[in-house]
Amino acid sequence: MTSNLLTLLAALGAGGIAGIAIGTFVVGGLIGLFGYRLYTKNKIGVAKKEAARILEEAKLEAANTRKEGILDAREQVNKMKADFENETKEKKQEWQRTDNRLNQREISLDKKQEAIDIKENNLEKKLFELDNTRKELDVQKGKLQDKETSLAEKETQIDAELQRVAGLTRDEASEELKNSLIQGVKEKSAQEAKRIIEEAKENANKEAQNIIATAIQRCAADQTTENTISSVALPNEEMKGRIIGRMGRNIRALESATGVDVIIDDTPDVITLSSFDPVRREVARLTLEKLISDGRVHPARIEEVAEKIRKEIDQTIKEAGEEAVFEVGIHSLNPELTKILGRLKYRTSYGQNVLRHSVEVAMLASAMASELGINPKIAKRAGLLHDLGKAIDHEVEGTHVSIGVELLKRYHESGEVIHAVAAHHNDIEPTTIEAVLVQAADAISSARPGARRESLENYVKRIEKLEEIAKSFDGVEQSFAVQAGREIRVMVKPEKVGDQATVFLAKEIAEKLENELEYPGQIKVNVIREVRSVEYAK
């Protein structure tokens, strides 16, 4: 077959081959053109279908948009209609209210017009009455003038008769009477002046006592008793050995870190801390309590806890000073003075907390200054700062007065305050009223019942005596002294003491208290009668 093909090609020759090639090329071109047309026609059909689909979707979307637009338009129209109706309704209501107000005003004006008409009628009646009264007064005036003329004539006759009898003219008799009256008035005035001076002295003493008593009652505070030692409770005896440590290293570290003496004796479950400095003692106490609760007791931990507690105490001191300043109502006090003042929280004098004592002195001095009509600011400030030196008297040589004065000078306090502080123990002679008031307030705060340990026993006895006196009356069931002895509440038996009798009983108890007790200020006697009826349902 191959040989036959070759023989055919050879017979055709080069021209025949070329013709075949050209024919083949033409046929291929026609086929390609036909295929391209089919492809193009197919693509156009797909594009038409896609265009028809897009057109259909656009029509649907346009229809939906139209529906939504119609719905929105309807909703807008309904909203505008509702707004219009609401506005119309509000306008109608407003017009109705306006109409009502106008009607009320019209009614009110009618009533006022009626009242004016009534007043006019009354006024006309009064004018008529006044006219009649004036006519009567004119008649009376004429009669009085006639009487005055008659009296003048009689007086002239009497004067002439007196001059004839006494041998004195009218002016001479008047002068003699005036001299006699002046002499009598002078004598009575002298006696009255003497009485007033004596009464003023007596009242001045009473007034001073009342001022002091009122100040004590307003500013009385509780007692705080502290010593130079503190006790720390232990959970068990084994803890003592842990606190002592091997060869005593823990206890030495504690004493070195806090500066206090740690006393461990045979007292069960207790360790005693001793120090003249209450701040150090408080640091040691809190450190020891922290170590006991934590359970880790070794020198490094002791130093760490002591340092942390010391910072907390410093913050507590600062807050205590700020609280005292705020309580008293003093402003613009130097922050360093406030911090030093806060250290008095851990300072005591005869069992009395010095910071509370300073606050109390400030309030007492302020109260007495106010009662005397003096500006209380200086007295209050000096009262709060009068014992400032006690905060550092164990660190600086000198009395607490001199130390306090130096501190106040260093921080530029006013001269009046410095003088009052310097004079509160009579180190110098007080020359201002504020200095005297600070002296008095300091004495009152120190000597009031319950303030210091040495007077506590007497204070308790007075309270007990107060209750005993109230119980001694017939019909008294119970008695309770409250408010530091400034009030006694007496409960009576209702079957023995009636309502009216309670008034007389209160008066009798008050009189007996006045006669048998000595006390500052006054005591309120409150007699209470209560009836209770009890029955049981079975």
Which pLDDT does position 270 carry in this prediction?
82
Helix or strand or coil: residue 505? helix
Which pLDDT does position 35 carry in this prediction?
75
DSSP secondary structure letter of residue 344: G
Residues 6+ positions from 438 with CB-CB distance below 8 Å: 361, 365, 379, 382, 383, 386, 420, 421, 423, 424
- Angle of the 335-342 helix axis to the 376-385 helix axis, nearest 10: 50
At which residue do the structure tokens 């309807």 appear?
Answer: 74
Cα(76)–Cα(377) distance, rounded to whole angstroms? 73
Residues 6+ positions from 354 with CB-CB distance below 8 Å: 344, 347, 348, 387, 390, 391
How would DSSP label each residue in 393-422?
TTTSSS-HHHHHHHHHHHTT--HHHHHHHH
Q: Using H for helix, E for strand and C for coil, what is the string for 45-112? A: HHHHHHHHHHHHHHHHHHHHHHHHHHHHHHHHHHHHHHHHHHHHHHHHHHHHHHHHHHHHHHHHHHHH
- Cβ 273 vs Cβ 284: under 8 Å: yes
Q: Which helix (H) or strand (E) holds 137?
A: helix 2-166
Q: Using H for helix, E for strand and C for coil, what is the string for 258-326? A: HCCEEECCCCCCEEEEECCCHHHHHHHHHHHHHHHHHCCCCHHHHHHHHHHHHHHHHHHHHHHHHHHHH
Strand 524-529 to 348-349 pairing: unpaired
Residues 6+ positions from 321 with CB-CB distance below 8 Å: 338, 339, 340, 341, 342, 343, 345
Which pLDDT does position 497 carry in this prediction?
85
Q: Which two tokens stand for residue 530?
A: 């209560």
Give the type of residue at 370. S
The listed CATH number (3.30.360.10, 3.30.565.10, 3.30.300.20, 3.30.1330.10) that belongs to domain 457-529? 3.30.300.20
Which pLDDT does position 161 carry in this prediction?
63
- Cβ 302 vs Cβ 253: under 8 Å: yes
- Cβ 438 vs Cβ 361: under 8 Å: yes
Q: Which two tokens stand for residue 377?
A: 């600011």
CB neighbour class for 277 (10 Å; exposed up to 12, middle 13-18, buried from 19): middle
* Terminal Cα-to-Cα distance of the chain (whole angstroms): 140
Cα(319)–Cα(105) distance, rounded to whole angstroms? 66
Cα–Cα distance list, 351 to 227, 230, 232, 309 (Å): 7, 14, 20, 25
Q: Of 420, 463, 400, 390, whose CA–CA distance to 223 is shortest?
A: 463
Cα(163)–Cα(155) distance, rounded to whole angstroms? 12
CB neighbour class for 198 (10 Å; exposed up to 12, middle 13-18, buried from 19): exposed
- Residues in the chain, pLDDT under 70: 1-17, 19, 158-170, 173, 177, 180-229, 276, 350-351, 447-459, 483-484, 520-521
Cα(435)–Cα(420) distance, rounded to whole angstroms? 4
Q: 0.85 cut: is pTM over it?
A: no
Radius of gyration of the chain (CA): 56
- Cβ 369 vs Cβ 434: under 8 Å: yes
Helix or strand or coil: residue 462? helix
At which residue do the structure tokens 């007043």 appear?
Answer: 119
Phi and psi torsions of 428, nearest 5°: -130, 160
Residues 6+ positions from 259 with CB-CB distance below 8 Å: 275, 277, 280, 284
Residues 6+ positions from 391 with CB-CB distance below 8 Å: 340, 341, 343, 344, 347, 354
- The per-residue pLDDT for range 273-286, each reduced to its tens digit, is 887 677 788 888 88
101 alpha carbon, distance to own chain's centre:
48
List 476's β-bridge partners, or say none: 492
Which pLDDT does position 47 carry in this prediction?
81
Residues 6+ positions from 498 with CB-CB distance below 8 Å: 529
Cα(22)–Cα(24) distance, rounded to whole angstroms? 5
Domain covering 329-448 in this structure, CATH number: 1.10.3210.10
Which pLDDT does position 424 carry in this prediction?
86
